[in-house]
Amino acid sequence: MDSINNSNRDRFIFVLIFLLVLMMALRLPFDTDFWWHIRAGQDTFSSGKPVLTDSYSYTKLSSEWINHSWLGQVIFYITFNLFSFPGVMVLVAMVVAISIYFIYKTMSGPVLLRAFILVLTVAISAVIWAPRPQLFTFLFLAIEQYLLQQTRKFSKTTISIVFLLFFIVWSNLHAGFSLGILFLVFWFLGSLIDRFLEQNNQFSFNKNDLYWVILIILISLVVMINPNGWNVWGVQFNTISVSVLQDLIPEWASPNFHELIQQPFLWAWLMVIFLALAIPQQITTAKSLPLLLFGYLGFVARRNFGPFAILVTPILSELVLAFYLTRLKDSVWLRQILRRSAFQNKSFRPGLTKGINLILFSVISLGLLGKFVYLSNSVIINYYEEQLYPKKAVLWLQENKLPGNGLNEYAWGGYMYWYLQDNKVFVDGRTDLFGDEIILDWLALVSGSEDWQRKINQYDIEWVFLEKGRPLNSLLLNEKWQMVYEDEISLILQAP
């Protein structure tokens, strides 16, 4: 009977965790890249084929575009087209919650311990919970970690088919599939090292090892079942090679631990180091080697916080549980604390327990529903859209189409050609497409560098649409450019 009650309690606590994660992940879907993703998804859906050449900018018009996220874009577009912003909010929240579920399934220890550690997991990864195909990598990496824990339960044929299909889908959703392959490679290398150490240097390469090598090679090939073909492998390197990336885009910059929101990543590292030193149990190399890789990637760019959170969570649960069993379980002071606990050794009548559980479930469910209703309100959506984007200015541009090429804010590019379907922008968030040349020219223009006039002529720019405070605005006004629009956040200037 006690085991049944404990099972029901654990199930109930997990349901509460799931609802709380849904509530935290439910947020307005305003990400600067969201707009160009749904525009590309719209064109892919309407034409029946992925967009593989640029038709949204005049600086790279008709250039090849490695659109690695075409399937993810279609999913977001269909959701937005059918259910607008509320639908996208629910989609993001559900993907996050399902990801957390698979992370939870990889953890060790009782449910309350898992819940405690998941708080840290959520704090680390929440910075990447945005309506972008990158979110599918968060989901698939969590599933991959779970699948690797289950490999002994299935035949090699079943595992091979599952992993091959898994990576075919993943490689069409987002280029983050490369992280999944790296995870698999480092997990396999770590497994070899573990076996080498356990056998006291009497190591031999067996058939099972060969099976994993062949599977990794096959996975590396099947990801090319993709409209981009072999080029899908190059997009990661094209993006990383953009030298101005860390200066221009915060998610590609290294962590700034002066900001509280980025500190959980550091806390997790400190916990792992302390616990690994404090207890005799050692984490296997198969787990620690991928953690070191993804931890390094997290220090390189904060966009990698999410993948790191996935890998560190089961390791932390294992270390905390081992620390309790070896250091705390028999400690006198802990027994005294537990003995003095207000609820220690107290039991409630079944009816009262069910009543308390029902109240907790109802409160959290109503909170989730209330947050959804609030954020789905068109007044709230319009308010925040106007605060974060130049909505009024774009509406003005819809009515007053300006001829010629325009110079736009980097973060507004996708927003512009989502609402101004025929508009061609100077630049948008596709850094892998524009590269250093275009982005550096954009920086030189908006900052009013010495050769700004030459670049205005080079790109035949006839109007600019920038944030207030950009140095170029003042320079153009001095050159008798006409201010045709102004609001709280933006200016539109037109050549004389």
Q: Which pair of tokens denotes residue 131?
A: 């309506």
Give the span between the Cα atoms of 85 and 91, in whole angstroms.
Answer: 10
Torsion of CA 265, 303, 17, 167, to 10 degrees: -130
pLDDT of the residue at 203: 61
Confidence of residue 6 (pLDDT cuts 50, 70, 90): low
Instruction: Give the residue-averaged pLDDT of 460-471.
Output: 96
Q: Is the pLDDT of residue 352 over 80?
A: no
Q: Which long-range contacts (CB under 8 A, 24 or more apart) does 158-163 make?
A: 159/215, 160/215, 160/218, 163/215, 163/219
Average pLDDT rounded to a whole number, residues 27-33: 93
Report whether pLDDT(328) > 70.
Answer: no
Overall average pLDDT of the 176-188 stretch: 95
Look at 201-205, 344-348, 460-464 and tell me which has the smallest mean pLDDT. 344-348
pLDDT of residue 200: 56
pLDDT cut 90: percent of the chain above it: 72
Specify which residues 464 forms β-bridges with. Answer: 407, 493
59 touches 459 (CB < 8 A): yes
Query: Residue 75: which pLDDT band, with cuts at 50, 70 and 90?
Result: very high
Q: How high is the pLDDT of residue 384? A: 95
pLDDT for residue 206: 80
Residue 3 has pLDDT above 60, yes or no: no
Which range, of 78-87, 192-201, 475-484, averages the lowest pLDDT? 192-201
In the predicted model, is pLDDT for residue 347 greater than 80? no
3-state secondary structure 126-168: HHHCCCCCHHHHHHHHHHHHHHHHCHHHCCHHHHHHHHHHHHH
pLDDT for position 341: 44
Tell me, what's the pLDDT at 345? 44
> pLDDT for 134-177, tens place per residue?
999 999 999 999 999 999 888 989 999 999 999 999 999 999 99
Q: State the CB neighbour count (10 A cutoff) for residue 409.
A: 24
User: Of 304, 242, 228, nearest to 268 (Cα)?
Assistant: 304
Q: Above 80 in pLDDT, residue 238?
A: no
Confidence band for 248, pLDDT divided at 50, 70 and 90:
confident
- 488: CB partners within 8 A, 6+ apart: 468
For 464, the 3-state DSSP assignment is strand
pLDDT in tens, 364-417: 999 999 999 999 999 999 999 999 999 999 999 999 989 999 999 999 999 999
- Summarize pLDDT for 192-210 with one digit per residue, the tens: 988 888 765 556 678 888 9
Edge-to-edge strands of the sheet including 405-408? 405-408, 461-467, 490-494, 482-486
Q: How far is Cα of residue 45 from the mean position of the Cα atoms in its chain?
A: 24
Question: For the chain, what percent of residues have pLDDT higher than 70?
Answer: 90
Interstrand relation of 405-408 and 461-467 (parallel, antiparallel or unpaired) = parallel
What was the pLDDT predicted at 202? 59
Position with higher pLDDT, 289 vs 233: 289
In this model, does residue 343 exceed pLDDT 50?
A: no
Per-residue pLDDT tens over the stretch 91-134: 999 999 999 999 999 998 888 889 999 999 999 999 899 999 99
How would residue 267 be classed by pLDDT, with cut points 50, 70 and 90? very high
Q: Report the pLDDT value the prediction gives residue 338, as an integer from 0 to 100.
A: 44
Question: CA neighbours within 13 Å on the CB side: how many for 286?
Answer: 13
Mean pLDDT of the chain: 89
Q: CA 36, CA 69: separation in Å to the nearest integer?
A: 11
pLDDT bin (cut points 50, 70, 90) of residue 344 is very low
Confidence tier at 1 by pLDDT (50, 70, 90) = very low
